[in-house]
Every structure is written in C-alpha cells, then in structure tokens.
Amino acid sequence: MPARPFDLSRARVLISNDDGIHAPGLRVLERAVRRLAKEVWVVAPEYEQSAASHSLTLRRPLRIRRLSGRRYAVDGTPTDSVLLAVREIMKDRAPDLVLSGINRGGNLGEDVTYSGTIAAAMEGALLGFPAVALNQLSENGHPVKWGTAEHHLASVLERLTSAPWPAGVLMNVNFPDVPARATRGVEITRQGRRKIGGVLVQGRDPRGEPYYWIGSQRTEDRARRGTDLGAVSQGAISITPLTLDLTHRPTLGTLKRAFD
C-alpha cells in the first residue's frame, strides 16, 4: 500500500458534507482550509442529507448548480456530490485531498455506518484520494461550538497529511463539545459502541394514520478506553482511521473450518 504524505499548502482540496451547501459547518471548513491549501473546491448536496449513509442516486438524473467560482450544489446525496465533483467538475485535475464536514454533531461508534458525512469521505477514499470526515460534537441541545473545530483544524490537518496514508483509508475526526481552550489534546482511537434508534416517537397524522419518528437518542458505551466515544467524553479530539473492507478477519478461519 502506498504511503502518501503530501504538502497541504500546495494541495487542491475538495470539500463536501451532508448538512447541505448552506450549512454553517461547511462555511467554517471552507474558511479554515482557504488559509491552509492552494485551492478549495466545494461540491455539496443542495439539501440536508444527514443519515443518508453511502447511498448513490441511480433512478433519476442529477443536476449540478454552480453558485460561484468553485462552489457547486448537487441535488443528490453526499456520495453523488463527491462522485460528480471528481468525474465531472474537477475532471481536468483531480483533488489531492477530500474533506467532508464540518458535520453538525458527532459521528461516533455505529454512527459511522449511517452517516452521510463519513460517506462523502468514503467515496473520496474509494476514488483513490486521502479523505477526512470532520465532526463537531454538540450534546444536550448546546449551541454548536464551531470555534473548537476551527481552532484545532489546521494542526489536525497538517499532522494528518504529513503522516503516511495507506490507500483506501479515511480518517474520522471528532471535536469534543468543549470550548477550544479546554480541549485535551488528540487521541488516536478505534470505533466505539453507540447505537441510534432506541426511541420511536409515535403519533397520528392529520388523517388519523399512525406515524413513527426515529429519535436521536443513542445507547452508548462511553467508559471504554481507546474508543472514539471514550476520547470525546474526556474532552479530547478523536481521530479514527477507517477502512471500507468490512471483513471480520477472526471469523474467516472458524467459518472455513465450519464449511470444510
């Protein structure tokens, strides 16, 4: 696997997200990256796509809307946006780095399998680029502390891009819900445990038909050390390297023996 450290100051950066082209976190990321990199391109969904996961739009056509020089909206998912950015909008010269975010809220534990923010970075990694998903935690209805992500973004990105970077790996960065100065360093973590969907709100629509609304409450394990959830619970920035190979290797042997 090739390691690809590179010079961020000379990089051409593609930014996408899942909160949509008008999201405040996208503006924060654009502003920060313009100070760090040579060229910034933004290609993001027209409307919010949180929890869209890695879905691709196949059964209807997609439209690209140019908003200004290097800013575009796509009427599809985060995956559609990154794919169209690389294959069409930036087809003359590929990006050196794909960033997704900054998401409003954390993507921790099993969130990563539902997240559109992570999916945009996954698509970047699948297309062969180093990719980073960026998330700013916001808990208990607190106003989002964008200043925390903004303050630490440069050092996180500079250190990430100077490290050896295997192909097919994406980085999941979560900034804790604490003020920038109270952040307790960076912790390199593994994916923890956190499952959404335990609470269903039931009601009846104006026609008397029942509906169900999936709540955002999670069942989670914050105590486990070395995990993304453990790190942000302690006020640290969590960085988890993720890969798209979902194979559970320890089971390969036992399964082969069972089918022998």
Q: Is 96 in the site for Mn ion (CB under 5 A)?
A: no
Given candidates 19, 46, 96, 150, which one binds Mn ion under the rule CB under 5 A? 19
- Nearest distance from C-beta of residue 103 to Mn ion, angstroms: 5
* Residue bearing tokens 């390297």: 241
Which DSSP string corresponds to 34-60? HTTSSEEEEEEESS--TT-TT----SS
- Give the integer Cα–Cα distance in Å for 250 and 259: 15
- Nearest distance from C-beta of residue 104 to Mn ion, angstroms: 6
Site track 23-52 with Mn ion (rule: CB under 5 A), x = hit: ---------------------------x--
Given candidates 103, 161, 172, 233, which one binds Mn ion under the rule CB under 5 A? 103
Q: How many CA atoms lie within 13 A of 38 on its CB side?
A: 10
Stretch that binds Mn ion, among 68-76, 101-109, 132-140, 143-151 (CB under 5 A): 101-109
- Nearest distance from C-beta of residue 246 to Mn ion, angstroms: 22
- Nearest distance from C-beta of residue 16 to Mn ion, angstroms: 11
Rg, Å, the chain Cα set: 19
- Give the integer Cα–Cα distance in Å for 224 and 258: 32
Stretch that binds Mn ion, among 16-24, 150-158, 162-170, 235-243 (CB under 5 A): 16-24
- Give the integer Cα–Cα distance in Å for 28 and 95: 20
- Give the integer Cα–Cα distance in Å for 104 and 138: 7
Site for Mn ion, rule CB under 5 A: 18-19, 50, 103
